[in-house]
Structure 1
């Protein structure tokens, strides 16, 4: 089963994504409120996919993406953010994100994007 780590500072988004992903056959192995917390959980939990918000306290999604690139273990990263501007999308993709989903998202769009990387 494909393991997913959900990273978002909004608890209701984490909760909704967890229900959505689990009901579609993904295993949510953990959640994080910011990029700093996510880095530790990536090392510990070794998820296959990380959903990563861009705007978060302590460490944002782009900074987190740069740190993930330095790790010996590198999961697939899908950005999920309200920042739908072209610049944010380009920056995320240039730094290694494999996909970008704009909030508010449609459940089908999330599943379609993550299914591309299902193990």
Structure 2
């Protein structure tokens, strides 16, 4: 069972992803509302995959990806972005993210991205 860390400043978005994952036999090992908490939780929990929002207070998703990848170069991170954030998604991919999913989340796309990254 793959362990997932969910990072998003919106509790509603975290709840949506958590619901999709738990219904499909993924273990959610933590939730973070900004990049600083995400990096700390990553170091503690060592999840198999992270879903990372781009736009967050204190430390955004791109900075958090860089920090996590500096700690663990093999980290598997999937970015979550709203429509129209293509340039930010490209920055995230350059920083080391493996894939991205667009909000509003569609369950099949979330699962496809996570399964692809976990099994890569």
Q: For residues 34-45 of structure 1, what are the structure 2 equivalents within 5 Å? A: 34-45=34-45
The two structures have a TM-score, normalised by structure 2, of 0.93
SS in 2 for 1:31: strand
Aligned counterparts of 1:70 and 1:83: Cα–Cα separation in 2: 28
Moved over 4 A (4+): none
SS in 2 for 1:21: helix
Q: Bigger CA drift: 36-45 or 82-91?
A: 82-91
Aligned counterparts of 1:33 and 1:100: Cα–Cα separation in 2: 18
Question: Gapped runs of 5+ residues in structure 1?
Answer: none
The two structures have a TM-score, normalised by structure 1, of 0.93
Residue 91 of structure 1 is matched in structure 2 by 91
Question: Gapped runs of 5+ residues in structure 2?
Answer: none
**CA-CA distance at 1:84 after TM superposition:** 3.6
Count of aligned pairs between the two proteins: 119
Residue 7 of structure 2 is matched in structure 1 by 7
RMSD between aligned alpha carbons?
A: 1.4
